[in-house]
Structure 1
């Protein structure tokens, strides 16, 4: 009986304690959640910018004055003593072509010319004599006509042979190839003993003192270029990383196969700077592109293959936007889609930002 009474007392006390706790909980005032402090961030307004895009194209350093020397006569090369790299002076003999046949032809023409000259003198004397007799009425009209015709025929024959002699003399001059200007033999195509043909180059002569760079550009960039504007170039082999020079010429007619147009720029003092014909060069063109939205690289968020940024709403909340990026230029990246002009975004993510977090501008 004593055990049952003790157990009932314990249950009664426990019930009273539980009731007190429930009453205390019901009467307590709710706890107030403290308001979140806005995160201080750097922001910018998105706006369109006109970027300067630099395009680089392979180019070559070539001689600004270059000539392929050839002959218009066919014959064996009897003399060709220059080699590639040799310096020659203006008027110096580069090569000689066998001229035996041309000289024989010249001798034949000169002999015929002497004969025609004698016939011309005889016809001229007869013409003068018959003319005097005709004026004295001692010669008939028929005799005068015959003397006149003989004189004209002899004169025409002599003039024809004189023209032939001049033509052969010019052909004889083409058997000697001379340097048209002072320069360097940059390429040698033939050797002594080879058969030279009309139009076939024998050597290429270049002027080393004046060089230019030539590049072939796509058709969509030609309208952006005009002769006289400044371009940049580099020649790594000569130790020139970047230099400026005016654009000399832009070819207005392009190649129909490649759809490319050539552009050239003369290099001042190229020889002194170590540039040589044939060296590889690069032409750098800075062209204004279409207006676009650019943001700093520091504003972008990368998660896997996705790229985004935090836009700031009018209520001051950071909202993650996935964007599509384009070209990069000087630390800024083009936003193709996902951000409109006039929207505010966080430009520097130096501290972690949560989706929907309040920020202060």
Structure 2
């Protein structure tokens, strides 16, 4: 009687165990239950040592060779505005005029003071001449002669000082007109009639840009800069618009930017024959052909193979059926190709399609 309940409890337990055992066996028997994830299809290429028929390009900024923010040389209120934003000016053309009233009064006072100093000087000279005549006749003591000479010298100095003051105020009167320092276009004029201008610190009056004298500033990859020399003529175009121009190299930088591995190159810009006026503007972007890139040392990989992660660059390389991430040092040489200076070897299979979604160690199937 005491064993019946224990037997009854055991039967359900055995039944449950049998069911679970069958479930595990069925799961193990299902096809693909423990199979690995399928390989990702990718396309890979080996790096190229030369880019036959390709043209290396660099993108840069057009900028004016001459640009100046002009200010007044003397303090005063603006009386008249002679040039507006967008106006073309010639060197010496007036931009604004300041109120001359105060300086005109000061100039009148200085001229009066000069007349007075001139009279004093003439009187001192005459007094010295009389004293010298008396001294030669032994009718004047040496001390009296010395005093007359000192008085004449002081009078000469006072006159020179008065004349200098007059010249200074005459110059200040001329400086009340703020003029263009060179031929160009007014691109900014932050002050208007009635504004008071100071000289310390100088108050900006207008910005003048020599719109016709442009240069392009290029960041050229260090691997492509050696053939460029001052005097070389390159061809380029504006972005957007495609306005053609010629660029004559004037300067090749002596240092390499450690972040971009590029060298600064400056070139004077001349619009191509037939280009529309105003097609090239300071501040715009431009693309310049650096010439055939076949002479540049590789290896080269397609631009889409290089993945950017902040300032870092890396590629995926297929090795033994798995993807491996390689950090590289790379620089773009054309819109389609990138030069890899370190990180890949000649025989590496660099993934060029199917990069998205790859992880380090993922199985890949390389398409032929």
TM exceeds 0.5? yes
After TM superposition, the structure 1 = structure 2 runs for residues 18-57 of structure 1, keeping only pairs within 5 Å, are 49=49, 54=56, 56-57=58-59
Structure 1 gaps, min length 5: 1-45, 297-304, 310-318, 341-361
Question: Cα 1:135–1:176, aligned 2, differ >3 Å: closer, same or farther?
Answer: same
Q: 2:215 aligned to 198, 212, 217, which one?
A: 212
Q: 2:281 aligned to 277, 281, 284, which one?
A: 277
Q: Which residue of 1 aligns with 2:118?
A: 117
Counterpart contact for 1:324–1:336, Cα < 8 Å: no
Counterpart contact for 1:93–1:179, Cα < 8 Å: yes
Say whether residues 1:201 and 2:207 are aligned partners.
no
Deviation of 1:263 (Å): 4.0
Q: Give the distance between the partners of 1:164 and 1:99, measured in 2 at CA.
A: 17
Give the paired residue count.
276
Deviation of 1:234 (Å): 2.5
Q: Give the distance between the partners of 1:201 and 1:251, measured in 2 at CA.
A: 32
RMSD: 4.6
After TM superposition, the score normalised by the length of structure 1 is 0.61
Counterpart contact for 1:69–1:205, Cα < 8 Å: yes
Q: Which residue of 2 aligns with 1:234?
A: 237
After TM superposition, the structure 1 = structure 2 runs for residues 248-327 of structure 1, keeping only pairs within 5 Å, are 248-250=250-252, 263-269=265-271, 272=276, 274-284=278-288, 286=290, 291-292=297-298
Q: Deviations over 1:157-212 (max 9, x none)?
A: 11111112212222222111123333322222211111222222211223333322
Deviation of 1:115 (Å): 0.8
After TM superposition, the score normalised by the length of structure 2 is 0.60
Deviation of 1:141 (Å): 1.1
Say whether residues 1:339 and 2:347 are aligned partners.
yes
Counterpart contact for 1:323–1:337, Cα < 8 Å: no
Deviation of 1:284 (Å): 3.9
Counterpart contact for 1:231–1:283, Cα < 8 Å: no
Q: Deviations over 1:30-79 (max 9, x none)?
A: xxxxxxxxxxxxxxxx99836688463341x3333333221122211111
Q: Give the distance between the partners of 2:105 and 2:259, measured in 1 at CA.
A: 49
Counterpart contact for 2:271–2:280, Cα < 8 Å: no
Q: Secondary structure of 1:193's match?
A: coil
Q: Give the distance between the partners of 1:338 and 1:167, measured in 2 at CA.
A: 74
Deviation of 1:83 (Å): 1.2
After TM superposition, the structure 1 = structure 2 runs for residues 94-105 of structure 1, keeping only pairs within 5 Å, are 94-105=95-106
Structure 2 gaps, min length 5: 1-45, 303-314, 349-368
Counterpart contact for 2:317–2:325, Cα < 8 Å: yes
Q: Give the distance between the partners of 1:152 and 1:98, measured in 2 at CA.
A: 38
Deviation of 1:295 (Å): 9.2
Counterpart contact for 2:83–2:94, Cα < 8 Å: no
